[in-house]
Amino acid sequence: MKKTQKISEEALKRFLRSKGLKATSDRVTLLAILKKSIKPLTIEALHTKCVSTINRATLYRNMAAMSQRDIVRKIEFRHGHAHYEFRQQEDHHHVVCVKCDRIEDVQDCSVSELIPKLSQKTNFFIQEHSLEFFGVCSSCKKI
């Protein structure tokens, strides 16, 4: 039990270092939380999950640093505050409930197939895309 935790913690540290970041305890904690989470988290959520030991400025700075290095992905939904997720899979999206803000994953996405045509048409070098769906979840449909 304790051993597995230690091992994965070491792995996270190595991962951070490999991306040119110091493996501070804050960052390891944040990454562990994000890795465990099945949905993208806000700064607020991350803060409370860290049992509030982390400073908000540091939190923002860390998310920015990890975002820049492609360790996490920053997602803007529409409530005006950013969400972050561990960047494991490429091409993976979300459905957001407009009533209760519940977020679920959407796996298969064929958008990447559109990109070659799009690059040609717009003359942009397209690096990334975000696809989010908005609707009403099963629980909120009943109300």
Interface residues with DNA (CB under 7 A) are 13, 16-17, 21-27, 42-44, 53-58, 60-62, 64-65, 80-82
Distances (CA, A) of 98 to 65, 81, 111, 134, 141: 30, 14, 23, 6, 11
Judged by beta carbon distances under 5 to 8 A according to partner kind, the member of DNA, its own copies, none in contact with residue 6 is none
Nearer to its own copies, 5 or 139 (CB): 139
Q: Using CA atoms, how far apart are residues 43 and 84, in angstroms rounded to an integer?
A: 8
Nearest Cα neighbor of 119 from 111, 28, 102 is 111
> Binding to its own copies by residue 124, rule CB under 8 A?
yes
* Positions that interact with its own copies (CB under 8 A): 74, 76-78, 80, 82, 95, 97-98, 104, 106, 109-111, 114-115, 118-119, 122-138, 141
